[in-house]
Structure 1
């Protein structure tokens, strides 16, 4: 992540909008954030963290306290941060929940928190997230860190930069997992554990199946099968018993089959006798209908002989029907001719009447022509009258508008608005005189707020000093105990060494130590002989106590200096308050502040009232302008109206003169009466012409229809005569045929009824012949079968037969059940043998997977509590430690170096990623939390820089382009500070941007690029300065 710009407004100590463009740093990759205490240096970093994660940096600062105390009620607290990740650019805009002034009226309202994330695409910012959850996930995906990880790697906040150094294995594992994307190794662990669990579950499942198979096998006695050999033995013993069951079943089956043969013989005999009886009965029934067949045959022969006569009869009947139809048509046509004759006469009468009216219609035509010649004059007269009416209406309308009431009312409205506006302006001027004190009171409140903060910080520092005093007293006691213990052990060590030399001392001979031949008091054996390790341990304990004491003394001195600085600031601020506020003292601080707050509330309400007055004045000014414009418009319209009235009166006189002159040339002046006469004449003539045309058409049509009907009458008369001749001929032929067959006409008509049913008689005759032939054939076949089937000599009762069948079914069922049981045992044996073979391979697989699972997940067979992923992260951490030590050893003059703790003790906690510090002066490793403040800062900074180097070397997708360090340099001595600065300056070549917050003067001269934060009475400002 590389910052591009940061805009903050009403945030922390910043009242106004402040924009920081990081491009102003140009080629400088390191800059110092400088400014007095409390000016707002850390607030810059808070704003970046708040923009990204919705919370400020550090554990003390809270989101609900980030709004500036200097901000006016109408100003919104907001942060706008844009940054680059590789070639992509992003922007986050965030506003916290806050109380702001209402837009209308007075008072405050709560503004909900809001945030938006943008990405620059094609030169424009596109929204990619707005909801809280979406923004959290989007930022974490873009940056690659959660907030706590961001504060351990990118931004090292004041008082919390040591977290990465002293983090537990679990915390460090989670951070490294996120940074280096080691999900693959964790997935491999999970896959191996899943494979082991699956294989183990498979064995347990097979054991369950094996038990179920064993329990499903039938057995004798109370003990079930327990081994495969037992199953094989059981299967081998079932053969003989099965053979005995088969013999018994075959005997029973044979008996039943013999009974079935005898019962089938009786069934065939009875069936043959029954079939013969049925065939004989059917044949007798067919023979009984012989007389019926003879009668039916004779009737068919008689009806066939009538066929020629029947054909002649049909021809006669057809001709008779044709003649009847023609005679009816002839009668109808005669009636139609009579009607057509009458209609033609009527049409002729109507036409003759219309010809008699021709002279009167001609007279009307002449009159109509005369009226049409006068139409143009009447039209001109009508136009003039209409124009006169329109002009008179317009004159009345304009005359009604001539009233000056509206003009007078508009003049009164303008005057009233001018008076109201002057009154409102006077009230606003009075309010502004009171509001001139608002800025003074706000400045006094800001000074009181800073004074309150100073008092709180003084109390806090004083409490810390008191706590340090108690801690130092305890450390002094611990140090004295450690010194006494060390001196005692060293003394015992010396006594022990002296005692070791006693055996070298010989009476009257020189002492190998002092050379004296007199040995008055030899060294006695000490009460205990301490080992070198015990003495070294005591010395280490003393050194640790000394270091802690030195660290606490240093911190106490820092606190004392800070307390003096705060006390000086408190005196200065108190003096400033006394000079600006009469009667101010430290005792009445609370009451003065409350009085000012009360005044400020009243002024805030007055400010709202003034804003309302300003809005009202603006509205009234607009209303006045509209009213004045309308007054001008009304005056112009009134003058125009008077002119139009005069012009109308002149035009009306001219039109009336034209009407009078034209009326004198016409016989009548009533245009409506003239129009009615014209329309009546035209209507009469048009109606007459239409009636003549219609009557002529009707007469012609009637004559045509009459002629057509007369021709039809002649044709039908000729056809009737011809068809009468044909009918007589057909009748003659028909009667001649009746004589030839010796039948009267009545007998033939009677016979016609049977002729219609002749086909039915033929079908019935054929059916009788078919039934007789079929009955005879069935009888012959049944007789033949009955003669061949022999009656059985023996019988079997139903009871004996049922008992035999039941006995056979029981034996067949027993054998089938036995075979089914045997098949089940064989199948079960096959399954058991397959399971047994599979279990051997599965057990080996489980052993193999168990070892792999333990190795990957930190089990007993691997590195206990060190998983595969943690092992890989340990290797990465070794690289981080190596990179960190390149800087830490230089900054600590080769005294300190970080190393990964090899502690593998018991317990179930996570292990493998713990860090320790190797002290070259003592040759011993110790926990990182035992370092002093300055040493901790150096180690933490080296670790963070080393981590950044390793992250950049990996293609993990996380960009470590920026680092911010808040304080810590003040705990370093000058030489160590110089080494730390050299280390940081070397980073400029890598292109990484580093921002530092510090009060150390040496840094200002060493770092040319500054972000200078300036504190003022009405809030702080910030800007980049390149020296």
Structure 2
């Protein structure tokens, strides 16, 4: 990577635009970057880093975004950094603009513009620049990919901070490990250690979980086996647990099978005894049954003999009932005819009751003739019914005409009264509309005057406020200017006092035998001494800082005063010279007038609507008045026509009603008479028919009773049995016959008679014996089932435990392998002789490479005296790997780098920094770094050592490499001709460049 051109604008301490031509500076190989403290030497390096990565190094990262902008920059100048460089054979230009707060283009105040980034590449063939990207992310990824380094690595290998490496030389192994870990990014090896430790914990937890499951199976087997098994007294994770569990399971299974064989034998014996007892009990029960059967048959035979007379009487009753069944149809026919005749007679009596006395003895034919005459008279009343309905309609029409006449009279009266006052009403409403219209016009005129008056009032208030702020700002600006002058005078006084006593400061740095930095003499016979009140460098710098702070406060106060004065002028131009109180009164009076006009104008629409409604109502009332007059004229003719038709209908109805109140009442009377006569005629015919059928039924019944052998029909009816009595009598007869046959069959059985002759059966003793045998069988069966279940449960648990042991075998093997690797990587394993962690081992290898690369330059700087070597000696907690020693060729002894003197530490740290830059560059992908910067530390070197160091740095120019030295040492300005000077001033710092020559 080679830098060509750097341009900065409004960046850091640079208020304007500044440029650095690195091609010119790099022509000599070495160039010097110098300037007073606070001028901005570091800001040049920050600009390079910001252009490449969009952020600045290390602790200065807090100064990002708008904080990168120079306080000396003009208001409209945007901060920008542009860097032109060659990397990986490509010439690129990177431009970055951080976000900045600028004045708004319109109006007052400020707005923030977003950050901008451009990446361009030079096309040598076309001789033009080609745009590549304007995306922050894409540009960052492209630069990082081409450089092959992160921002931290770039700052470490290109911007070499000597102070960090001096501390690195004196640091312990842990501090060196942190720095090397950041540079070489060994987090992946630490992640490997962490991953191995996590896998060890994971596999250990899985093994412990499997052992816990195995122990749970062992405890369940103990519960199943009872006292036949003792669980292993081992915890999860202890060796031998699986073998102990499987051994205990095998012993438990063997014991359970023996107990099962014993239970089988006991069960077989109990089954034999129970079968014999069941056979004896069955024989005793059969003998007892036969004996009881014979005794019960003898008792049933005795009871049958007692019921023999009643049985013969029931047989005779059943025979008489069978004969009466032949007469039953005639009896049923006669009863039905009698019932029918009584119903018909009752109906005829009810139908004749409402009839008049002259029809009480009339027959069915006379009643039917009277009903026909009544129906004919009813049919002649249809015309009268229509006339009656029409008369009702005429009455309704006359009523409607009277009601309409009253309504029309009310409408005419109301319309005449309302129209009489119309002119007065219209005049009042029109006046209301005109008044509201005038108020609306007045409100519009006042509204135009309101905004200017309010703006002028607001401007007057701001004018008063800015006037007070201007006086305050003038006082602050004057006070700040006085303080700045006093601080500058104090600083110049202290500076002059320090220059007067500078010899004492230089004398304090003299060492006997060492050359003087001023005259070069090695003898110092009379060095200067500090006098009372001597001003040292710290006091001078403190006074300078106080002056700079006071000057900054003065500038801020002056800027504030200018801002307030501009605002006061703008407010005065807007408000004029009128007093604020008068403008306030005018604005308030204008506002009150405007409010009154708005209130008066708010009723305009309502007044217009009310006038339109009144006009519409007038039109409606005039139309209603005309329509009422037309309807009154038509009602006169309708009344005459209705009166003529009503008289004709009343005459016709008088004739049709007769003695009734109305035609409807007469029709109802005739309809009821016809219905009653018809009903009575029908009832008389039915009564005559049923009387004849009853007479025929009596004759047939007397003939049937005589043929069945009964003296009278009444005797035959008495002998009949209903269905329930017949079934009950037949059931008693059948039951007696069945019982007699069953008793006879039992008494004639050979087995029953033989059993009756034997002694009584011993049933109770046989039942007790069978119950005891059944109980012993159940106990033996339960014991056998329990033993079988125990064997099955132990077999299942043993199989599960065996499967668990087989499944745990590869887990145990994996855990052992992972645990050994994790212990080895963590440095706790006995196989790790030096007890080095994996990350430390990798860092030790990197440190060994750095020491080898640094030694090549250190030997030249020290004239072959010193060599850096890596040490594996153990340090704290018994671990090793990051020791760094120096070998002194003059003594031949190896010692710690912390024992080096100040000058030796400088060139040792410089050599270490250069060597580390080479190793990190190779680690990052071998990108060639053609431009390097080395920061401070040269003031501690003598002339000879300084020459040797510069020779080493000059050797870096091989293959066109350039090195920039950042230093305050005045001697370097004489030795290095190519220089970049940073000069600070009140308006910001500027750059002065001088090439070789």
TM bracket, shorter-chain basis: 0.5 to 0.7
2:509 and 2:267 mapped to 1: Cα distance? 108
- Classify the secondary structure of the residue corresponding to 1:39: coil
Question: Deviation string for 1:77-125 (max 9, x for gaps)?
Answer: x999999999999999799xxxxxxxxxxxxxxxxxx999999999888
Q: How does 1:152-231 map to 2 (within 5 A)?
A: 156-157=160-161, 159-163=163-167, 168=173, 170-172=177-179, 174-175=181-182, 178=185, 181-182=188-189, 185-186=192-193, 189-190=196-197, 193-194=200-201, 197=204
Tell me which residue corresponds to 2:763: 795
Distance 1:179 1:570 in 2: 49
Rounded Cα–Cα distance in structure 1 between residues aligned with 2:328 and 2:465: 134
Q: Describe the superposition over 1:932-951 as per-residue Cα deviations: whole angstroms up to 9, x where unpaired.
A: 21231232133134313312
Higher mean displacement: 770-779 or 36-45 = 770-779
User: Gapped runs of 5+ residues in structure 1?
Assistant: 96-113, 129-139, 477-548, 558-562, 578-585, 638-670, 745-760
2:975 and 2:621 mapped to 1: Cα distance?
Answer: 117
The 1-side partners of 2:675 and 2:796 are apart by 106
CA contact under 8 A between 2:274 and 2:773: conserved in structure 1?
yes
Out of 386, 390, 408, the residue aligned to residue 344 of structure 1 is 390
1:259 Cα deviation after fit:
2.9
Residues 220-275 of structure 1: per-residue CA shift (max 9 Å, x gap): 9999999889997898799888766654443333223333444456678889989x
Residue 431 of structure 1, CA deviation: 6.8
Match of 1:861 among 827, 831, 841: 831
- Provide the secondary structure at the position in 1 that maps to 2:182: helix
1:1001 counterpart residue number: 973
Q: Match of 2:39?
A: 39
The reply on whether 1:447 has 2:488 as its aligned counterpart is: yes
Q: Supply the distance in 1 between the matched residues of 2:568 and 2:335 (Cα, whole angstroms).
A: 129
Offset of residue 783 of structure 1: 12
Structure 2 vs 1, CA of residues 144 and 188 (structure 1 numbering), >3 Å: closer, same or farther?
A: farther
Cα distance in structure 2, aligned partners of 1:162 and 1:119: 37
Q: Look up the match of 2:625.
A: 680
**Partners of 1:267 and 1:782 in 2: CA distance:** 22
Q: What is the alpha-carbon distance in structure 1 between the residues aligned to residue 99 and residue 183 of structure 2?
A: 29
C-alpha separation in 2, matches of 1:1024 and 1:240: 107
Q: Is the 8 A contact 1:969 1:977 kept in 2?
A: no
Cα separation, partners in 2 of 1:266 and 1:332, compared to 1, 3 Å: farther
* Match for residue 925 of structure 2 among 952, 960, 970: 952
- 1:936 match: 909
| CA contact 1:316–1:730 (8 Å) conserved in 2 | yes
Work out whether residues 468 and 556 of structure 1, in 8 Å CA contact, stay in contact via their aligned partners in 2: no
Q: Distance in 2 between matches of 1:1005 and 1:609?
A: 50
Distance, in Å, in 2 between the alignment partners of 1:1025 and 1:304 is: 157
Shift of the alpha carbon at 1:881?
Answer: 5.9
Which ranges of structure 2 fall in alignment gaps of 5 or more residues? Answer: 101-111, 120-131, 139-143, 234-242, 355-370, 523-527, 594-615, 657-662, 701-721
8 Å CA contact 2:193, 2:826 repeated in 1: no
Corresponding position: 1:979 with 2:952:
yes
User: After superposition, what is the alpha-carbon deviation per residue over 1:261-306, rounded to whole angstroms, capped at 9, x for unaligned?
Assistant: 44456678889989x999x99x99xx99999999999999899969
1:937-972 Cα distance to aligned partner (Å, 9 max, x none)? 232133134313312359xxxx99997643235556
Q: 2:880 corresponds to which residue? A: 911
Change (3 A) 1:845 1:935: closer
Instruction: Kindly state the Cα deviation for residue 1001 of structure 1 after the two structures are TM-superposed.
Output: 2.6
Give the aligned partner of residue 103 of structure 1: none
Give yes or no for the alignment of 1:256 onto 2:274. yes
CA pair 891-401 structure 1, distance change in 2 beyond 3 A: same
Deviation per CA, 1:570-596: give whole Å up to 9, x if none: 799999x9xxxxxxxx9x999999999
Q: How does 1:560-709 map to 2 (within 5 A)?
A: 617=572, 620-621=575-576, 679-686=624-631
Residue in structure 2 matching 1:901, options 870, 882, 906: 870
Q: Residue 1017 and residue 840 in structure 1: after superposition, are their counterparts in 2 closer, same or farther (change >3 A)?
A: closer
Instruction: Give the Cα–Cα distance (whole angstroms) in 2 for the partners of residues 241 and 303 of structure 1.
Output: 91
Contact 1:90–1:120 (Cα < 8 Å) also in 2: yes
Corresponding residue for 1:132? Answer: none
Change (3 A) 1:175 1:763: farther
Q: Distance in 2 between matches of 1:331 and 1:48?
A: 135
Going from structure 1 to structure 2, the CA distance change for 1:742 and 1:598 (only over 3 Å counts) comes to: same
Contact kept? 1:166, 1:928, Cα under 8 Å: yes
1:970-1012 CA distance string (max 9 Å, x none): 55613422432552685869xxxx97633443797446xx5x5
Per-residue deviation, residues 598-625 of structure 1 (Å, max 9, x unmatched): 9999999999997996787477449999
Q: Is the 8 A contact 2:11 2:80 kept in 1?
A: no
Separation of aligned partners in 2, 1:718 and 1:152:
136
Q: Which residue of 2 aligns with 1:105?
A: none
Q: What TM-score, normalized by structure 2, do the two folds share?
A: 0.52
Deviations 1:889-916 (A, max 9, x none): 7974994898762525486454334445
Q: Which residue of 2 aligns with 1:1015?
A: 984
Worse-matched range after superposition: 816-825 or 164-173: 816-825
The 2-side partners of 1:460 and 1:698 are apart by 150
| Kept after mapping to 2: 8 A contact 1:152/1:163 | no
Distance 1:778 1:900 in 2: 133
Which residue is equivalent to 2:360?
Answer: none
Whether the 8 Å CA contact 1:249–1:808 is kept in 2: the answer is yes
User: In 1, distance between residues paired with 2:341 and 2:682?
Assistant: 14
Cα distance, 1:819–1:848 mapped onto 2, change above 3 Å: same
Instruction: Compute the displacement of 1:174 (Å).
Output: 3.4
Q: Are 2:157 and 2:921, in contact at CA under 8 Å, matched by a contact in 1?
A: yes
- Taking the aligned partners of 2:272 and 2:633, their CA distance within structure 1 comes to 124
Computed over aligned residues only, the root mean square deviation of the Cα atoms, in angstroms, reads 8.9
Alignment-derived partner of residue 936 in structure 2 = 967
Matches for 1:802-881 after TM superposition, within 5 Å: 802-812=771-781, 852-858=821-827, 859-875=829-845
Deviation at 1:926, TM superposition (A): 5.0
Distance (whole Å) between structure 2 residues aligned to residue 391 and residue 843 of structure 1: 106
Kept in 2, the 8 Å contact 1:203–1:839? The answer is yes
**Helix, strand or coil at the partner of 2:830:** coil
Give, in whole Å, the separation in 2 of the partners of 1:19 and 1:854: 60
Distance 1:92 1:160 in 2: 31
CA distance in 2, matches of 1:674, 1:832: 110
Aligned mates of 1:463, 1:299 — CA distance in 2 = 172
**Separation (CA, whole Å) in 2 of partners of 1:191 and 1:411:** 77
SS in 1 for 2:164: coil
Stretch deviating more after TM superposition (676-685 or 764-773)? 764-773
2:478 to 417, 437, 461: 437
SS in 2 for 1:901: strand
Partner SS, residue 1016 of structure 1: coil
- Give the whole-Å Cα distance in 2 for the aligned partners of 1:190 and 1:395: 92
